[in-house]
Amino acid sequence: MRSKATKPRTKTPGIPPDPAQLEPDPTDNPVHLTLASQSPRRRQLLTEAGIAHDVRPSGIDDGRLTPGDRCTPSEWVMALALLKAAATARRSGLEPGTIVLGADTVCVNEGQILGQPADERDARRMIRAMANATHDVLTGVALICTATNRRSVFVDRSVVTVGEITDEQIADYTQTGRWRGKAGAYNIAERLEAGWPIGFGGAMDSIMGLPVDRTREAANNLAALRA
């Protein structure tokens, strides 16, 4: 069994660290995650990052849920992520010490939450609303360690600016059906490749559905605290 890597809390040049002052290094020892979602984009991001994972869908249909009047977009997206992770974490058959990952992404345009469009007409409405404007993209992430019941929940914010898009471009796009299952009706990587006038601030992977580096760090921190 591989021993846990350690790092000194303080370091004095020329003097070896006191073993009593060592603590686990959460950036080492990659963990295995159970993804509480069937999202192909999140699976792709985890795979490309070299993060081992399996998939156990939560069964939560967030399209049927709506935020309350007192819930901010950030609170809402974190709540959805936690709901998904908790639903999967409660299932039997998980390996001891499993770390479950739940995530959800929404766009926020002029204070309005834009999740996945209900149909093609809704997709056109969303894209028209975001054209020639700037909107936020919020990705909520929740991790639950089934061995300790410790949780890590956070939200990652990015900003996306969309330039002018003609009605013809919108119609051509929505007819392809590629808007299905995507917050705000678009995938930023696809639309950039298609030549849409889009600029952004933040992490591309977060806009696509999962801030990989922050997720890896949080998962490793939870893993370091397992008995």
**What are the start-end ranges of the E strands in 9-116?**
22-24, 33-35, 53-55, 99-109, 112-114
> Angle between the 167-174 and 120-130 helix axes, to the nearest 10 degrees?
140
Count of positions (residues) in the chain: 227
In which residue are the tokens 């766009």 written?
107
- Report the C-alpha gap between 188 and 171 in whole angstroms: 17
Q: Backbone phi, then psi, for 113, in 5-degree steps?
A: -80, 125
104 is catalytic: yes
Residue of 25, 54, 104, 213 with catalytic role: 104
Name the DSSP class of 3: P
Mapped onto helix, strand or coil, the DSSP state of residue 202 is coil
**Residues with catalytic annotation?**
104
